[in-house]
Amino acid sequence: RGEMKNYALRLIDAKNNMVEEQFFSTEEESLKEYAKLREDNSGAYSLVALLDCKSNTVLHLLQYEASQLRIDLADGDVVRLREGYYEKGEEKYLYKVSDINENTGRCLIFCINSGAAIPAAESVEVRMVDAV
């Protein structure tokens, strides 16, 4: 009987963008391996994504910069735009993350404190946001 592929880790090689995948039957197993990769500063990967294979969604994403972990992003996290990616006065805005895409390195952010009746949403590169 084949093992269930409920969760996957997708690792994007930093040098050649080759994709390696590891599959897990339980979320606990996948989170254990994800935690190990979170501590990896080898410079081997540019992105690591933990996916729920049934819903085809990214649950967590690690983005590395200069061989160091830059951000551990999860669906629903609150972030702000990184310095250099906002106009003067926009540094106060907070955004909620959704629709993380490990293939494009992008996510959708909704402004949660703009005061607008309908929050503005924008697709941005993961490298443009910082954890709050």
DSSP string over the chain: -PPP--EEEEEEETTT--EEEEEESSHHHHHHHHHHHHT--SS-EEEEEEEETTTTEEEEEEEEETTEEEEEEETT-EEEEPTTSS-TTGGG--EEEEEEETTTTEEEEEESSS--SS--EEEEEGGGEEE-
Mean pLDDT of 107-124: 90
Output the pLDDT for position 2.
Answer: 53
69 has pLDDT over 90: yes
100 has pLDDT over 90: yes
Output the pLDDT for position 99.
Answer: 95
Output the pLDDT for position 57.
Answer: 94
With bands split at pLDDT 50, 70 and 90, how would you rate the model's confidence at 24?
very high
Average pLDDT of the chain?
92
Q: Please report, rounded to a whole number, the percentage of residues in the chain having pLDDT higher than 90.
A: 81
Mean pLDDT of 27-45: 93
1 has pLDDT over 60: no
> pTM of whole model > 0.75?
yes
119 or 83: which carries more pLDDT confidence?
A: 83
Output the pLDDT for position 3.
Answer: 60
